[in-house]
Amino acid sequence: MNQTINTQLAHRTIREFTSEPVNKETLDRLFEVAIHAPTSLGMQNASIIHVTDQRLKDELAKIGAQAYVAKAPVYLLFIVDTRRNSLIAGGPSAAPYPRNFISGFTDACLMAQNVCVAAESLGLGINFLGNVHNDAQAVIDLLQLPGLTFPVVGMTLGWPNQDPQLKPRLPRHARVMENGYVDLKAEDLAQYDEAMQTYYDLRDANRRVDSFTDQVKAKFSPVKDLRDATLEIAKRQGFDL
């Protein structure tokens, strides 16, 4: 083992931060790490919006339906950004194609995870926010994101003010397969359901967490919702998907 891997294995979502700010020097390091993340074909089709305006953070917390987001010292939004290269290539409508959207989306995620690992290596805690897709159009409007940009994932970070348990994961052999796909075995699911029920989620310390099976049934509900409009909203941003 080494310190990097120990940090990675200790990843937990941190939702509550102390009031200590994250200083500029630390943020600059994290942003330096962000821009050194791998990027498809060297195109750097992703950017970060660092949201420092409290009014915007309040609105993002409302869109995300997670009030604690507004109190986080740092809010970062990782975005697909093919606008920059489209302008370089000759105009805002140059190649708004799936290949560039996909590469920008991938680049944004790689940047985000690079920032996560760097932040955690410094003792900071982070919270990924998929909730920007609750209403991607509202995020776009709020931050006035121009065409050919698109929100991918948000992140809050700060100095941890809580010490949550490690969340159990599906077993390694269920997620890493050799040479082809293998379905999850019933006994692995049963064991994982049991492991999950020994885990106490700090969001509601008074009750045990549902089994994984019950969590999946709730999240994979057959009802479409506003999050399913994400790709339609991307089309409105000019992507020819």
Amino acid occupying residue 142 = L
Please report whether residue 2 would count as binding its own copies according to CB under 8 A.
Answer: yes
CB of 121 to its own copies, least distance (A): 4
- CB-CB contact of 197 with 165 (8 Å): no
Nearest to 149 by CA among 168, 158, 130, 136: 136
Toward its own copies, which CB reaches closer, 18 or 215?
Answer: 215
Cβ distance to its own copies smaller for residue 54 or 161: 54
Q: Smallest distance, Å, CB 218 to its own copies? A: 9
Q: Among residues 85 and 197, whose Cβ is nearest to its own copies? A: 85
Residue 164: both structure tokens together: 């949550």
**Taking the alpha carbons of 86, 87, 89, 93 in that order, is the dihedral positive or negative?**
positive
Subset of residues 126 to 185 that bind its own copies, contact rule: CB under 8 A: 126, 128, 130, 133, 143-146, 149, 152-153, 167, 169-170, 172, 174-181, 183-184
Q: How far apart are CB 18 and its own copies at their closest, in Å?
A: 21
- Return the residue of 16, 68, 109, 200 that touches its own copies, per CB under 8 A: 109
Q: Give the residue, chosen from 58, 141, 231, 236, that forms a contact with its own copies under the rule CB under 8 A.
A: 231
Nearest to 215 by CA among 192, 185, 238, 233: 192
CB of 16 to its own copies, least distance (A): 17
- CA–CA dist 164, 204 (Å, integer): 12
Tokens (6 digits) for 68:
């604690």
Residues 13-52 close enough to bind its own copies by CB under 8 A? 13, 28-29, 31-38, 40-44, 46-52
Angle, helices 186-196/212-219, rounded to nearest 10 degrees: 100
* 148 neighbors 83 (Cβ within 8 angstroms): yes
Kindly tell me the burial class for residue 64, based on how many C-beta atoms sit within 10 Å of its own C-beta (0-12, 13-18, 19 or more): buried
Interface with its own copies in residues 51-90 (CB under 8 A): 51-53, 56, 81-90
CB nearer its own copies, residue 102 or residue 202: 102
The distance of closest approach from Cβ of residue 61 to its own copies in the complex, given in angstroms and rounded to an integer, is 15
Minimum CB separation of residue 72 from its own copies in Å reads 15
